[in-house]
Amino acid sequence: MSTTTSPSRAAAPVSARRAQTRERLLAAATSVFAERGVNGASVEEICETAGFTRGAFYSNFADKDALVLALIQADVAAQYAAARAAVEEVEHALGTGTVADVVARTLQQLDAFGATGREGVLAQQELLLHAARVPALHRPYREFLAASSDQLRTLLTGALERVGLEFTLPVDLAVEMLLATHARVQTQALFDEDVDTSALQALVLAITRPRPDGPAGSGCATRSG
């Protein structure tokens, strides 16, 4: 059984050097997991890719399941950073075009900061499958998915408010639809170099409407061209 610790337990402060070692191990694991899968990857291979010994690995992670959990946490943090960057793009785009233009630019920003490359998408899928197979990871995985959805809901609602829009559906449902469609776009990226995001843009436009009280900011993109 996994010895993975609970995510609610406070982590001890780490030195800059140890943090760097941890980041290199996470990056190496992402690469190895994408190529070989979680079950097919050994601790030795991850260490070799990162340029460390097994001792360095076990001073940072109790086992491979703990590493998987750390990568899930890192993915959520990256998604939040991507969403934040996208919201900033919305604010910069206020009054500069149609809502469709703003949506397109925001999604481009989200993809630029998110793990949308082939390796990142493959690693994310492997993490999902591994977490599904290991009962000890079910709860922490659900918790971090919920945290990610909460963060995105808050940011997206604020972004729409800034451009004078609101969801036509319950916010939770709208976010789930957007996440599902974005996941589909990421899957496409595994097989096609040119990924079509028009479905995601169309969904955003289909499930939003002008707010009765107008935009929260000083400017607003127009609804159509």
Q: In this predicted model, what pLDDT tens digit does every residue of 13-30 receive, in sequence order?
A: 568 888 899 999 999 999
Predicted confidence (pLDDT) at residue 160 exceeds the cutoff of 50: yes
Q: What is the pTM of this model?
A: 0.67
Q: Are 151 and 79 in contact (CB under 8 A)?
A: yes
Predicted confidence (pLDDT) per residue in 38-75, tens digit: 999 999 999 999 999 999 999 999 999 999 989 988 87
Q: Are 178 and 82 in contact (CB under 8 A)?
A: no
Q: Are 149 and 182 in contact (CB under 8 A)?
A: no
Predicted confidence (pLDDT) per residue in 97-134, tens digit: 566 666 666 666 555 545 457 788 888 889 889 989 99
pLDDT score at 84 = 73
Q: Which two tokens stand for residue 29?
A: 């694991």
- The DSSP string of 63-113 is SHHHHHHHHHHHHHHHHHHHHHHHHHHHHHHTTSSBHHHHHHHHHHHHHHH
Q: Which domains does the chain have, with CATH numbers?
A: 16-61 (1.10.10.60), 64-210 (1.10.357)
27 to 16, 70, 153: CA distances (angstroms): 16, 11, 28
Q: Which two tokens stand for residue 203?
A: 């969904």
Q: Which of 64, 22, 21 is nearest to 44 (CA)?
A: 64
Q: Which amino acid is at 109?
A: Q
